[in-house]
Chains A and B, each alone.
Chain A
């Protein structure tokens, strides 16, 4: 993980790529967490 970045461009490619993967994970994670959070709520028609 000790990559040396010589240019801002390389650094950004690296960090943004990781971030994009991360935000995909966060989206799914948040959704699952919401289901967990409301799992015991009484069932109600939502829409």
Chain B
């Protein structure tokens, strides 16, 4: 059920000419369910067909003009170790053998071109974008090289030119976006001798995949990997073995990465709105308290100075009564201190009495 090249060109024409037209507005706008670019492309990788010939790796290397690896592509011994995508290899094929018996399974890995890419969500300069062809593309002219996209990608795909001191780039499969725009299909798909890779509109690939599962229920696990992983990916996988066993994570969930961070992102503006109010409020309260205690202090001090020479105790009782009960305790202390001070003074220098406005030790400097 693969898609022929002519068919594909037809799709491309339709998609390119009518991207906007083909969507009914009610579907895409006005609500918060996002279905992805209509008619965007994807690739279906049927691992049951893959023979691990590494032709796709070779083609990818060629179309992307990457440096030739030391070990040539027809040397299959590299399959003995598990590999991941690298700065000079946008795609790698891995072999998974089930405890030495049974057929090995080969799985090609590359960027999955997520419908809601974690990498794009993470990039703080919009250097990674999902475009309408379905590809997630990278713009090196914006990239700062922070590598947060690599932290974010749940499939560990983006690689980085660590040995480039000043102009390192993020390197990852482009879904052959430049080729698609020219009307060509991805290099890896084109080169696959077994039709293990099928290129076409994602919707159509999903149908194809379902048909295959239905037709050969014994051959396939009833699951299309990528249909909903992390909100769905443009690259889809079929397998005869549980995906966990062929190196693919089954615990990623169906939530797009953007939903993990939308909470924190939404908190930010609210804090900016609320904090000034809250903080100014706290400030105003502390200021007011300060003002009150300041006034009371001055009041208490001046009164106590006035009565200092005369019958202190009686007047002190009266003074206490005039004060409200809540503030009593706090003021008591001040008053007592002021009184003692005044008393001391009056004892020592009885003649010079009320000339001074404030006892010196209470005029604590305020900053």
Contacts and interface: CB of A to CB of B under 8 A. Distances in A.
Contacts of A22: 269
A27 B271 CA distance: 11
Interface string A1-28: 0111111111111001001101100110
Interface stretch (B35-43, B64-72, B152-160): B35-43
Interface stretch (B24-32, B73-81, B174-182): B24-32
Interface in B127-141: 130, 132
Interface residues of B, number: 35
Contact of A7 (B29, B115, B262, B265): B115
A4 to B, nearest CB: 5
Chain A interface: which size bin?
A: 20 to 34
B268 to A, nearest CB: 8
A45 B280 CA distance: 16
A20 B124 CA distance: 14
A13 B29 contact: no
B185 to A, nearest CB: 22
B285 interface: no
A20 B272 CA distance: 10
B277 A30 contact: yes
Contacts of A3: 29
Given A2-B29, A26-B272, A9 B35 contact: no
A8 B29 CA distance: 11
Contacts of A8: 32, 34, 116, 231, 256, 258-259
A34 interface: yes
Contact of A6 (B36, B259, B262): B36
Contacts of B287: 46
A31 B276 contact: yes
Most buried by B among A5, A9, A11: A9
A5 B276 contact: no
A6 B280 contact: no
A9 B34 CA distance: 9
Interface in B223-237: 231
Nearest to B283: A46
A9 B121 contact: yes
B132 A6 contact: yes
Contacts of A23: 268-269, 272-273
B289 to A, nearest CB: 14
A6 B272 contact: no
Interface string B250-269: 00000010110010010011
A31 B121 CA distance: 32
B269 A5 contact: no
A45 B367 CA distance: 10
B201 interface: no
B207 interface: no
A30 B29 contact: no
B315 interface: no
20 contacts: A4-B23, A4-B28, A5-B29, A5-B34, A6-B28, A6-B34, A7-B115, A8-B34, A9-B117, A9-B120, A11-B32, A12-B258, A12-B265, A13-B126, A20-B269, A23-B268, A30-B273, A30-B276, A30-B277, A47-B367
